[in-house]
Structure 1
């Protein structure tokens, strides 16, 4: 297994776990600052995992299709055009990349929490991508 694919798989397992934690239940017992820190940690883990995701796709794209793209969106598009992703997952990956890029520049708590709320769906999306990479 390629080192990037292994790192992606391990990061994805961690992100998937974090996105399944019942934050509302924790909020009843923990200080709101700790909940905020956990949400920030989930966002950071998402950024890291998505970075590993597109880089694992890049390696597979080069090995399987002989295509060498450089940017995340071009890599994802080429993987989709090569028939490895359904259109819905392709569009969702583009949205995930946009959200990852926004996280570096968000200063609005409401917008940040909207992205955090999408993280479980993004984790499931990356699990489907991981399955295509492991075939």
Structure 2
């Protein structure tokens, strides 16, 4: 039996993570008390951070496997994908924004910043789903 390639595994991991992130955002937080809301929001943020990590690493793997391009930073990966016509400029800019928000969460904890980024999670999910469509389409070509 043939083993799936590293790129195929990366696509599968990313797909599962996105599905989980989308499910987490479907929760109606108003049904819960304040403490539970806080825990759910933290879980949603963690799923966002995990998807961001898998997204750029998928792009990194794609560049290495399909184009023999080595890139070591998230924004660098997205820039190379854009320059190689795998991502639209709009997607590149939106993905850059996801990384910037993820970095803000990782390096500094401020409640107001956390709340601001939490409100942006549905838009970030859309960005990450659009990325999946674009890179999958190119992977199928």
Q: Give the structure-2-normalised TM-score.
A: 0.86
Residue 48 (structure 1) aligned to one of 44, 47, 50: 50
Contact 2:87 2:135 in 1 (8 A): no
Aligned to 1:19: 25
Superposition misfits of 4+ residues, deviation over 4 angstroms: none
Aligned to 2:63: 61
CA distance in 1, matches of 2:51, 2:109: 22
Aligned to 1:84: 86
Contiguous gaps of at least 5 residues in structure 1: none
Residue 9 (structure 1) aligned to one of 4, 9, 15: 15
Aligned to 1:115: 117
Aligned to 2:106: 104
- Give the number of equivalent residue pairs: 131
Aligned Cα root-mean-square deviation (Å): 1.3
Q: Decide which moves more: 61-70 or 86-95.
A: 61-70
Deviations along 1:40-89, whole A, 9 cap, x unmatched?
A: 00111111111001111111112222211011110010001111111111
Contact 1:103 1:112 in 2 (8 A): yes
Contact 1:106 1:112 in 2 (8 A): no
Kindly state the Cα deviation for residue 133 of structure 1 after the two structures are TM-superposed. Answer: 2.5
Contiguous gaps of at least 5 residues in structure 2: none
